[in-house]
Structure 1
Amino acid sequence: MGAALCFPNLESLLRDSASGFLSAVSAAPAPGAADLTNFHRVFSRVLSTYSDPPLEVVWFFSALSFHDRPDDLRSLLQLLSAFAASSPGAAKPLALLAPVVSELFHSDKPRRETEAVVEAVLSYISICSSRPAPSSTEGTTADAVRLLPAFGDLVKVWSVRHSRERCPFQVLFPLAGDEARRELMKEGCSVDYLAGVVLVEAFLLRLCLKVQNATGVPRSELQKELKIWAVSSIPVFQSHQFFGVLLNMLLNSPLPVYSLVSADDEILVRDVLYDSLILVDYSFINNGAGVDLLPVYVSRLIITLDAVNDARRKGDQGRAVSFINAFSTSNIPNFLIKWATCQAGSGALSKPICNTPQAILKWLIDLEDKGLKVFGDYSSWVMRRFVCNEVKNGYGNMVQSDADLFFVDKQSGRELMDTKGSEDDEAVEEMETAGNAFMAAAQSMKGVTNGIRKRKSCGNEDAAAVKFVKYKVEDSSVKGYLLAANGMSSGSEVENPQSDDEMEESD
């Protein structure tokens, strides 16, 4: 907020000017007919006093220019980028783009023309994202730079063109989601956070436009194509705020894209985000210096459990296991365990029984019950969500399900981004079919825990018996694969093991 000191009474000037702008626009006989000459003259002089003008000043001046030439989004993008040229780092140049992304969302121009400007915005974002973070000699960091209290008045200036009745933040940030908008409404919100929100909106807008253009494309192919684009785009942004905002957006259903895509396509976009945010380990997230990773990792934990449950409800056990495997082999479980141990003191905590998302989340909730603040203000919300998921998915008080215990990793040997066909596709499909057979067999095993059963020729009568039910492999390709794996010929006969009752009868 130190920039405000370069011009006396900047805060009151912004508020009064925003109020005057809204009054002039409302009183104009026609859209675009308001006389804003005096505002142009005053803010041209204000801008000349800064080498790197505050975001709010740039927004007001650009609103005046856009009012004179509405719908000229390329000129608006060029104007905002010109004012950002002297800004150190990427946060402020990206945050300045919010009006452009908003106008693209509300635009009624032909889709091809809109897409061209969206691509230009994303190209500019990639250039800005490659900027090095400002050093201490260049001033405060982006996270320390806060929006001025008059920021809300500037939001009204940019939203009045599209609606006077709706919340201005909903108009200017249509794809941000309620939680992000509430954060932006707080006085003193950081410019870095605003930049993350703008990145998310631009990202979702391009994703939805790709969905709109995919009429007739098979859904599986479209999902693969969108995942490739998303996974290749996320590292370009190099933004922890972007990643965190996108994760928090996934915590709520539906995604704020319902005005751009159908309900079925919203599910597709959500699936693409699950794959992109969970199955890929981005180095810029783990290597961020001075970044508080706890909120990001806790959100990713909850999102992973949501994705696992969603895949299971759809009957896609392979995808569910992929999510579990990706989480369990990431550094998130170790980070959360070390963090909790550090907070509670070495040796004061027992470790979770395994690294699956459900086990880690249950362990953290138990720590919350004991007084360790893991989820902060969202503690009760997380607990209600966890209990709801337990009941909805039929886990009861189980720490993990059968599928968590038996990992059949279908991703082994295949790159996530690989889209080319190969000679090994048939072999991979056979392995996946066999994996499904193993999964079904694993889930059919039931442990008898409420009684001890005496069995003939068993030496230890006090041990709890485990009953293996019959599992018959019906698929011939699976049978052949299993036989080959055991060194048998495909013509050999495989007999299903006898059950306990059959063995007793034969005896």
Structure 2
Amino acid sequence: MAAGILVDFPSMGSACFFPSLESLLRDSTSRFLAAVSAAPDPDLTNFRSLFSRVLTTYPDPPLEAVWFFSALTFHDAPDDLRSILHLLSAFTASSPAAAKPLALLAPVVSELFHSAKPRREIEALVEAVLSYISICSSRPAGGEVNADAGRLLPGFGELVKVWSVRNSKDRCPFQVLFPLVGDEARRELMKDGCSVTFLAGVVVAEAFLLRLCLKVQGVAGVPRSELQKELRIWAVSSISVFQNQQFFGVLLNMLVNPPLPVYSLLSADDEILVRDVLYDALILVDYSFLNGAEVDQADSSLLPIFVSRLVITLDAINDARAKGDQGRAMSFINAFSTSNIPVYLARWAARQAGTDQLGKPIAITPQAFLKWLVDLEDKGLTVFGENCSRIRERLMHDDAKNDYHYQSRMGHSDADLFFIDKQSHQEGMHTEGGEDEEAVEMETADNAFMAAAQSMKVTANGIRKRKECGSEDAAVVKFVKYKAEDSSVKDYFLSAATNGMSSGSEVENPQSDDEMEETA
């Protein structure tokens, strides 16, 4: 529509021409805000007539135009959120991709956050939003690349005011419309040309976090350990269904830059519970949508996610140790060492700087890798971006002996470790040791969490889904149980600490479970 927009008004026998959609939205937004501030119940008939015709000129109406039109409808019936949800979803029926339909839901999630409706009614609406997100997430990924590669219009910031005017109270409009994300995400949304896919990830993260908080609010008399199990299962299942990298990255950044934006919904103790659930769901599970060609090629698309995941893994380890839960700390260490993060970071760095300039981490631990990446940043590589100073502070306050403690505990701790066996295609739990050991529960992951992870399957195209949604011939993700004193595990980590990585471009992968069983 670069040539302009021509809107025909048959009843008036005339037509209106606008140089661009952006100019139309800027002018309409200014007039709308002036009308709303001048009268509590302004006449918006002309706006509706204009935008209803504008929308008909597009086979797939732009997000900004749909937002403005739906805001007019919502202004007349501010309590009818379900109708607004239906209206927004109707406008995206022709969109072949997931990002735009998800991004359109931002006003609905915001209004649910600010709503004074009974909690049960809000919960029902949030569930409806999450169900819609699940449906949209099943759309082909290829359509997302082609259809939603566009950017938000430069006037998007003005349009945000249309939806935030009811709850602004002199606050930043972006804080009102996006109340459940951090400042970093809001700054990205404020940039001209922010991507629709990023906005979609923000919306999914807010809906996910709002539902998680409502679940915490809605329980009474349930033991905290049982509640954490249930929330963990729900979080893992939801993340695996959404399969959204932007959403995953937004959640990670919330943890990288504390506190979580839930202080108006939860007590301090409940915020800690939610943070622990997020640590488990984001660190201890190997999600298929974070694996694939990007990891093998080690391009920069996954770098922010893997770096953030590395940072929060160290935070989670230190948090568990501060609480005296060494088994939980060991589970985070093992999850990192057996993930594809070390391999990806090593390959990415080799592509950027060449193997001669790299050096090596002293161990395959989160702290050692962070120190190595900070050293690379000092040499000129851009790794952490604007988070660099915060990463340095984390390392400065971290125990200088942590690397030694990591190695020592890998050799002497009685804690059981687990990781997702990405090579096996058989379902089951394997244990090392005698029958008595097989009866002992894993200290680092309770049965409920294992059930959640085992309910995820690997389909033929490599996408893990919930068990009831998977194909019959899909292989189940398998947790493999090892004792920390097993010689094969100990030898691997001790050799890694002594010799560093096997080459300048790769990190040596741990042995498979078959190899470990042969050497046990």
TM bin (shorter chain): 0.7 to 0.9
Any conservation in 1 of the 2:327–2:416 contact (CA below 8 Å)? Answer: yes
Kindly report which structure 2 residues correspond to 1:454-465, keeping only aligned pairs within 5 A, or say none.
none
Q: Is the 8 A contact 1:362 1:399 kept in 2?
A: no
Alpha-carbon distance in structure 2 between the residues aligned to 1:350 and 1:113: 57
Distance (whole Å) between structure 1 residues aligned to residue 214 and residue 396 of structure 2: 37
Percent identity reads 70
Which residue matches 1:109? 117
**Matched residue of 2:440: which SS?**
helix
**What CA deviation, in whole Å up to 9, does each residue of 1:192-231 have, x standing for no partner?**
0000000000000000000001111100000000000000
Matches within 5 A, 1:121-140: 121-135=129-143, 140=146
Amino acid at match of 1:328: S
> Which residue of 113, 133, 158 corresponds with 2:163?
158
Larger radius of gyration: 1
SS at match of 2:416: coil
In structure 1, the residue matched to 2:439 is 427
Q: Note if contact 1:321-1:408 (Cα within 8 Å) is conserved in structure 2.
A: no
| Count of aligned positions | 423
Alignment of 1:216-295 (within 5 A): 216-287=221-292, 292-295=301-304
- Residue from 345, 354, 362 that aligns with 1:345: 354
Number of the residue aligned with 1:97: 105
Q: Which amino acid aligns with 1:330?
A: S
- What per-residue deviation string (whole Å, max 9, x for no partner) do you get for residues 120-179 of structure 1? 1111000000001344xx98442x310001111111000011123011000010001111
Q: Distance in 2 between matches of 1:262 and 1:426?
A: 39
Give the TM-score of the pair, scaled to structure 2.
0.76
The letter of the residue matching 1:286 is N
Question: 1:67-106 residue pairs with structure 2 within 5 A?
Answer: 67-106=75-114
Matches within 5 A, 1:370-449: 370-388=379-397, 390=398, 393=399, 395=401, 400=406, 402-403=408-409, 406=412, 408-412=414-418, 427-428=439-440
Alpha-carbon separation, structure 2, partners of 1:59 and 1:397: 51
Offset of 1:353 from its aligned partner?
Answer: 2.7
Task: Output the CA distance in 1 between the equivalents of 2:380 and 2:411.
Answer: 30
**Cα offset, 1:371, TM superposition:** 2.9
Aligned to 1:24: 35
* Matching residue of 2:42: 34
Q: What SS class does the counterpart of residue 274 from structure 2 fall into? A: helix
Change (3 A) 1:407 1:353: farther
Q: For residues 408 and 324 of structure 1, do their structure 2 counterparts lie closer, same or farther at Cα, with a shift above 3 Å needed?
A: farther
Deviation at 1:374, TM superposition (A): 2.2
1:149 maps to which of 135, 145, 154:
154
Q: Which residue of 1 aligns with 2:326?
A: 317
Amino acid at match of 1:300: R
Relative to structure 1, the CA distance from residue 13 to residue 430 in structure 2 (aligned partners, 3 Å threshold; closer, same or farther) is closer
What is the match of residue 304 of structure 1? Answer: 313
Q: Is the 8 A contact 2:410 2:484 kept in 1?
A: no
The answer on 1:213 being equivalent to 2:218 is yes
Aligned-partner residue type, residue 183 of structure 1: E
Pick closer, same or farther for the CA change 1:324–1:150 going to 2, 3 Å.
same
Range 150-159 or range 283-292, more displaced: 283-292
Find the aligned partners of 2:212 and 2:229 in 1 and give their Cα distance.
13
Distance 1:4 1:197, change over 3 A: farther
The residue matched to 1:354 in structure 2 has which SS? coil
How much has 1:16 moved relative to structure 2? Answer: 1.2
For the residues of structure 2 that align with 1:352 and 1:410, how far apart are their CA atoms? 25
The verdict on how the C-alpha distance between 1:3 and 1:295 changes in structure 2, with shifts beyond 3 A counting, is farther
More strand by share: 2
Residues 431 and 332 from structure 1, CA distance in 2 versus in 1: closer, same or farther, beyond 3 angstroms?
closer
In the superposition, relative to structure 1, how do residues 3 and 278 fare at CA in structure 2: closer, same or farther (>3 Å)? farther
Please say if residues 417 and 483 of structure 2, whose CA atoms lie closer than 8 Å, have aligned partners that are also in contact. Answer: no
Aligned to 1:464: none
CA contact (8 A) 2:415 2:483 kept: no
Contact 1:3 1:54 in 2 (8 A): no
Partners of 1:216 and 1:131 in 2: CA distance: 40
For residue 406 of structure 1, report the CA deviation from its aligned partner: 4.3
Q: Which has the higher contact order (CA 8 A, sep 6+)?
A: 2
Separation in structure 1 between the aligned mates of residue 285 and residue 442 of structure 2, nearest angstrom: 25
Report the counterpart of residue 476 of structure 1 in structure 2.
none
1:189 equivalent among 194, 204, 211: 194
Using a 3 Å threshold, how does the CA distance of structure 1 residues 3 and 343 change in structure 2: closer, same or farther? farther
CA RMSD for the aligned pairs? 3.0
CA distance in 1, matches of 2:419, 2:146: 46
Q: Report if the CA contact (8 A) 2:416-2:484 is conserved.
A: no
Whether the 8 Å CA contact 1:4–1:11 is kept in 2: the answer is: no
Q: Which residue of 2 aligns with 1:362?
A: 371
SS in 1 for 2:355: coil
In structure 2, what is the Cα distance between the partners aligned to 1:379 and 1:240? 22
Q: Give the deviation of 1:411 after TM superposition.
A: 4.4
Distance 2:402 2:252 in 1: 27
Amino acid in the other structure paired with 1:402:
S
**87-96 or 3-12, which deviates more:** 3-12
- Counterpart CA distance in 1 for 2:419 and 2:70 is 52
* Deviations 1:448-488, CA, capped at 9 Å, x for gaps: xxxxxxxxxxxxxxxxxxxxxxxxxxxxxxxxxxxxxxxxx
Contact 1:352 1:363 in 2 (8 A): yes
CA gap 1:164/1:414 in 2 versus in 1, 3 angstroms = closer
Asked if structure 2 preserves the Cα contact closer than 8 Å seen for 1:309 and 1:320, the reply is yes
Distance 1:292 1:407, change over 3 A: farther
SS at match of 1:428: coil
The amino acid of 1:395's aligned partner reads K
Distance 2:419 2:56 in 1: 59
Q: What CA deviation, in whole Å up to 9, does each residue of 1:38-66 have, x standing for no partner?
A: 10011111111001111110000000001
Deviations 1:248-301 (A, max 9, x none): 110122100111111100000000000000000001111265870111111110
Q: Give the residue type in structure 1 aligned to 2:88.
A: L
- Paired residue type of 2:371: K
Q: Please give the alpha-carbon distance, in whole angstroms, between the structure 1 residues aligned to 2:354 and 2:167.
A: 55
Q: Matched residues in 2 for 1:399 and 1:380: separation?
A: 25
Pair 1:53 & 2:56 matched: no
